[in-house]
Amino acid sequence: MSDHICGAGCNHFSHLNDADLQAEFTEARHSLRANIGGTKTAGKAGSGGVTQRPLPSKKAGENVRHYYIPANKETIHWGYFSKSMEPLLKLDSGDYATIETVTHHSNDDIDRMVKGDPGVESIFQWDAKNKAIDRRGAGPMDHPLGAGGGLGVHVCTGPIYVNGAEPGDVLEVRIVDTMQRPSGNPDYRGKTFGVNVAANWGFQYKNLLTEPKNREVVTIYEVDATGEQTWAKAVYNFRWTPQTDPSGRVHPVIDYPGVPVDKRTIKPNYDVLKGYEIPVRPHFGMIGVAPVEVEIVSSNPPSYTGGNFDNWRMGKGATAFFPVAVPGAMFSVGDPHASQGDAELCGTAIECSLTGLFQFILHKKADLPGTKLYGLDYPLLETASELIVHGFSSPNYLKEYGYSENPGAEIKSSLDTAMTDAFNKTRRFFMDTRNLSEDEAISLISISVDFGITQVVDGNWGVHAIIKKSIFPK
Amino acid sequence: MSDHICGAGCNHFSHLNDADLQAEFTEARHSLRANIGGTKTAGKAGSGGVTQRPLPSKKAGENVRHYYIPANKETIHWGYFSKSMEPLLKLDSGDYATIETVTHHSNDDIDRMVKGDPGVESIFQWDAKNKAIDRRGAGPMDHPLGAGGGLGVHVCTGPIYVNGAEPGDVLEVRIVDTMQRPSGNPDYRGKTFGVNVAANWGFQYKNLLTEPKNREVVTIYEVDATGEQTWAKAVYNFRWTPQTDPSGRVHPVIDYPGVPVDKRTIKPNYDVLKGYEIPVRPHFGMIGVAPVEVEIVSSNPPSYTGGNFDNWRMGKGATAFFPVAVPGAMFSVGDPHASQGDAELCGTAIECSLTGLFQFILHKKADLPGTKLYGLDYPLLETASELIVHGFSSPNYLKEYGYSENPGAEIKSSLDTAMTDAFNKTRRFFMDTRNLSEDEAISLISISVDFGITQVVDGNWGVHAIIKKSIFPK
């Protein structure tokens, strides 16, 4: 447990440049799904292939560990957060974990994104007799669309219990590095793929110009797999056709995650976005800790504990800070993206499996006054040059609306209320953590803070405020 | 008149690197309010001190001119656009103009921003017997707050008539360079000042935490005047107290532009934002052409012809494209800013007089198909790396709401409708100018276009969409 607060330039427990750690992640770049050295951890994590090894300590008495968490049916939960889950593993403040995350859209192109990848195959396994991960979403197990109702769609790796974390503390999560997950299919050796879906929950769905109206369109992208180039290119697209899942349910629209797309039912169109190159911004769309208000909750609407807040700045080099709401924090991560625009307009990004190297730092409640983390009740993101405050249409929808199995349907999402929330939080940030008067805070915001539209598709719309760190007194 | 469409990398009539032109602008940096060489132009412009001289031509037969337009009571109009005004001057496509613009907030600190500057003094001159510029705004001349009613607040330099411009054409305006206007007061030699006002039309006004509620706060900033550094620092702030204008009207709130602030009535507070340094982003908040729908209209709400759209990217190196709605286009520019955040939250930026060097290029309607300007019915902004589409709560409020003397009060502003408009325009941009299918356009937008909040304070809220030019096929 940490009793230390990181300030600017702080290298708290920092092994960020540890050659051993970097070498391990580089190894992971080339041999995903193979554990990296170390010893199997005990209990549930061990059965999922999680390993751990101590890092060469930089300081006497320090005993920082590096965990490797492959993604497979033992290490993920699908479509929900829950404070009551058995944690995948327990780690200490300062520890690192390399975590594989898998996109819930992999089954939109089974050949490119599932086949030959044992971890992904184990997650998506579903036939008439068996479904590896039955619950998908926070809904009832007898939901007509399938267990969990698809009320929450993301494949989440975790949860991770941080030893010593208690409500009122803040969990800092540093993203040391990211990598795209290569296709496991020998036919696509050395390539990586992702998928964008213009879905029924997208901003465009009821506002289409051309026929047929109310269509959903899936576009498959190839994504630079080397990590050295930075492009994604469209391969083909197709319009969603009714898909019958292995349990016999027909899905006329995309209403349940992980339904395998039967290639024989779709018409691929390869004449798509010829010559266009999309800048790649690998990041985690869904990252956060469990809320205290309910036993189980959809992973779809973002909230004060983070979750699916879909900010593309949540990539390599960024740090997120989450208010801890339950013992151990119960951290999970998923919804990996290769690229997204602010707004995530059509409902998805380039959904693309990623592996991340994370460090976890716990900040105890008593140490927060006088720091930027004081009073934090939302996910705060930090990059090399910016602090990013996240506002939502409903800052804590579980408190505002009470529990509902499909909270996204109840929240009255509007950018106007999200803008008000982003302003309120940014003003409070300057007043509470920088000791500015309200008049100073408001002037500073108007002349130097940029407000952007994080997303309009997650059931609880987001507006973020970007504070440049260069404005602060030196 | 131009019959040429500029493409990527085009140097149409380009004297951007003309040594003579740069030397003239450099001279302007050091001796504002002195005309630069040339000969007085005829008519109204000449009486305002406007001069013109031919530029050394780079091509045979070319006869490009450079105009210098000082800001004074003869060269500005206050708070409105009008297609029926007598144009200040007429110029040809390809011509350049160095244009002084003056902030309408100069009288918030007369010593620093008016005194000793003959041009600014001539604009703000107002005593019991005489008011140099009587009409301020598009309201009636007998409005109880003063002539024009303050229904429109910006000091606009212009209008400039572009020879040959007709409805359906597009006017391109390149911002070659900008400079901050130095204080004319010897006590502040070599310094530049600006002002931020947390005003009654700001997003914060009805949502203040501390007493007294419903206050307006003026903060005076010193702005780097050399153009070599990039900071602004707060000097002092004060709360607005009822001000009696020279005609005897009392203004309990900021409801009419150019009311001189009586120093004896305010309490300056010098303990403000100590050590904070604001990055300077000089730009023009209000820039555009006259709409066709009405004789005279408030300069406050932005519309399809541009105007007060308040995007801080409208600075040096940027280019704006406006749909021409009336013969000659009737271009005006004002509302100069030293810095603003996306949203312009409290109602103003750092309002700071600027001088700009502009080039004007006319694109004829017949030449638009096949170019990025085809179908343009909003202000499009271009920077070195981006194309920026502007959406509004009401894309053309004059058409939607009919004429009103105070249109900002009628428009139902919401970021949700502005977001829809920005999406609609961006989709149309890709479909109409890039020949993409709707499915391609929507996917591309979701994964690569960033939507931001331009402003929430101008009576017609704005959302902009940033398209990275690097995505286009090479």
Q: Take residue A95 and report the two structure tokens written for it.
A: 């520890």
List per-residue pLDDT tens for chain A, 474 residues long: 334 444 444 445 555 566 777 777 766 655 554 556 678 887 788 888 898 888 765 566 677 888 999 999 999 999 999 999 999 999 999 999 999 999 999 999 999 999 999 999 999 999 999 999 999 999 999 999 999 999 999 999 999 999 999 999 999 999 999 999 999 999 999 899 999 999 999 999 999 999 999 999 999 999 988 766 689 999 999 999 999 999 999 999 999 999 999 999 999 999 999 999 999 999 999 999 999 999 999 999 999 999 999 999 999 999 999 999 999 999 999 999 999 999 999 999 999 999 999 999 999 999 999 999 999 999 999 999 999 999 999 999 999 987 777 777 789 999 999 999 999 999 999 999 999 999 999 999 999 999 999 999 999 999 999 999 999 999
Specify the pLDDT at position B37. Answer: 67
Q: What is the pLDDT of residue A228?
A: 64
Collect all residues with Cβ–Cβ distance below 8 Å to B391 and sequence separation of at least 6: B378, B418, B419, B420, B421, B422, B423, B424, B425, B462, B463, B464, B465
pTM: 0.95
**Residue B407: closest CA among B180, B139, B131:** B139
Dihedral sign computed on CA atoms, order A255, A256, A262, A268: positive
Residue A440 touches chain B, beta carbons under 8 Å: yes
Contacts of B275 in chain A (CB under 8 A): 472-474
The nearest CA of chain A is from the CA of B410 a distance in Å of: 18
Interchain CB contact of B438 with A (< 8 Å): yes
Closest residue in A to B238 (Cα–Cα):
A439
Q: Phi, psi (5° rounding) for residue B130?
A: -145, 145
Q: What is the pLDDT of residue B1?
A: 36
User: Which site among B439, B458, B471 would you substitute to test the A interface, given the most A Cβ atoms closer than 10 Å to its Cβ?
Assistant: B439
Q: Quick count: other Cβ atoms within 10 Å of Cβ A312? A: 23
Q: Kindly report the average pLDDT of chain B as a whole number.
A: 92
Rounded CA-CA distance B191/A338 in Å is 47
Mean pLDDT of B69-75: 95
- Contact predicate A377/A291, CB 8 Å: no
Q: Give the residue from chain B lying closest to A470, CA to CA.
A: B277
Q: Do B198 and A453 touch (CB under 8 A)?
A: no
* Spatial separation of the C-alpha atoms in residues B18 and A98, rounded to whole Å: 56
Mutate to test the interface with A, among B337, B413, B447, B449 (most CBs of A within 10 A): B447
**Using CA atoms, how far apart are residues A169 and A289, in angstroms rounded to an integer?**
12
Whether B232 has its CB under 8 Å from any CB of chain A: the answer is yes
pLDDT value for A346: 98
Instruction: Find how far residue B178's CA is from the centre of its chain.
Output: 12
Q: Which pLDDT score, from 0 to 100, does residue A21 have?
A: 73
In this predicted structure, the answer to whether residue B33 has a pLDDT above a threshold of 50 is no
Cβ contact B445–A414 (<8 Å): no
The verdict on A63 touching B (C-beta cutoff 8 Å) is no
- Closest alpha carbon to A76 in A156, A15, A143, A18: A156
What is the maximum alpha-carbon separation in chain A?
A: 68
Q: Which pLDDT score is estimated for B30?
A: 53
> Are B217 and A424 in contact (CB < 8 Å)?
no
Residue B10 — pLDDT band, cuts 50, 70, 90? very low
Q: Which residues of A touch B449 (CB under 8 A)?
A: 341-343, 345
**For residue B27, is pLDDT > 70?**
no
- Residue A1: per-residue pLDDT: 36
Residue A66's closest CA among A33, A31, A24?
Answer: A24
Over residues A272-281, the pLDDT tens digits come to 999 999 999 9
Residue A113, exposed/middle/buried by CB under 10 A (0-12, 13-18, 19+)?
buried
Q: What letter does residue B408 receive in the DSSP assignment?
A: G
pLDDT of residue B43: 78
Q: Are A201 and A457 in contact (CB under 8 A)?
A: yes
Buried b (16+ CB within 10 A) or exposed e, A292-310: ebbebbbbbbbbbbbbbbb
Mean pLDDT score, B338-345: 98
Residue B282 reports pLDDT greater than 60? yes
Amino acid A10: pLDDT: 47
pLDDT of amino acid A7:
46
CA-wise closest residue to B68 among B88, B30, B38: B38
- Mean pLDDT for the stretch of residues B232-245: 98
Structure tokens at B255: 């409801």
Smallest CA–CA separation between B348 and chain A, in Å? 7
Rounded to whole angstroms, how far apart are CA atoms B419 and A81?
Answer: 30
Q: Which of A346, A450, A473 sits opposite B442 (nearest CB)?
A: A346
Which residue of A198, A204, A277 is in closest CB contact with B423? A204
The nearest CA of chain B is from the CA of A342 a distance in Å of: 4
Closest chain A C-alpha to B474 CA, distance in angstroms = 7
**DSSP calls for B210-226:** SSSSS--EEEEEEE-SS
Q: Which residue of A has its CA nearest to B342?
A: A450
The DSSP-derived string for B235-253 is: EEEEE---EE-TTS-EESS
Question: Is the CB of residue B272 less than 8 Å away from at least one CB of chain A?
Answer: yes
ipTM (interface pTM): 0.95
Q: Each residue of B189-229: pLDDT tens digit?
A: 989 999 999 999 999 999 999 999 999 999 999 998 876 66
Instruction: State how far the alpha carbon of A255 is from the alpha carbons of A145, A203, A308, A351, A472, in Å.
Output: 7, 16, 18, 17, 47
**Pairwise pLDDT comparison (B56 vs B419), residue with the higher score:** B419
d(Cα B24, Cα B13) in Å, to the nearest integer?
18
Task: Verify whether the Cβ–Cβ distance A415 to B419 is below 8 Å.
Answer: yes
- Burial (Cβ within 10 Å: 0-12, 13-18, ≥19) of residue A452: buried
Tell me, what's the pLDDT at B46?
83
pLDDT score of B12: 53
If you average pLDDT over residues B150-158, what whole number do you get? 97
Please check whether residue B280 is in contact with residue B230, taking contact to mean a CB–CB distance below 8 angstroms: yes
Give me the residues of A, 402-421, that contact B with CB < 8 A: 414-416, 419-420
Both tokens assigned to B160: 């400039």
For A171-220, give the DSSP string: EEEEEEEEEEPPP-SGGGTT-EEEEEEE-TTSTTTT--SSSSTT--EEEE
**A206 contact B CB<8A:** no
pLDDT on residue B54: 80
CB of B463 closer than 8 Å to CB of A419: no
Candidates B266, B446, B464, partner chain A, best to mutate (most A CBs within 10 A): B446
- Residue A202 forms contact with B (CB below 8 Å): yes
Which whole number is the average pLDDT over B89-94?
94
A270 contacts chain B (CB < 8 A): no
DSSP characters over A19-85? HHHHHHHHHHHHSTTS--SSEEPSHHHHHTT-EEEEPPPSSTT---EEEEE--STTTEEESEE-TTS
Pairing of strands A89-91, A155-162: parallel
Across the interface, of B207, B278, B343, the residue whose CB is closest to A451 is B343
User: Where residue B230 falls among pLDDT bands split at 50, 70, 90?
Assistant: confident
Question: Distance between CA A386 and CA A418 in Å, rounded?
Answer: 20
> In this predicted structure, what is the pLDDT of residue A4?
46
Let me know how long chain B is. 474
Closest CA to A1 of A170, A161, A164, A166: A164
The mean pLDDT value for B434-440 works out to 98
- Evaluate if residue B407 carries a pLDDT over 70: yes
Q: How many Cα atoms occupy the beta-carbon half-sphere of B422 within 13 Å?
A: 33
Put simply, the answer to whether A446 touches B232 (Cβ < 8 Å) is no
Cβ neighbours around A215 below 10 Å, total: 16
Interchain contact, A446 vs B344, CB within 8 Å: yes
pLDDT at residue A32, as a whole number: 52
Predicted confidence at residue B9, as pLDDT, reads 43
Residue A193 is predicted with a pLDDT of: 97
CA–CA separation, B299 vs B154, rounded Å?
7
Instruction: Please report, as a single letter, which amino acid is at residue B330.
Output: M
Distance of CA A160 to the CA centre of its chain: 14
* Measured distance CA(B37)–CA(B15) in Å, rounded: 18
For residues A184 and A116, the answer to whether their CB atoms sit within 8 Å is yes
Q: Give the closest residue to A316 by CA, choosing from A177, A173, A174.
A: A177
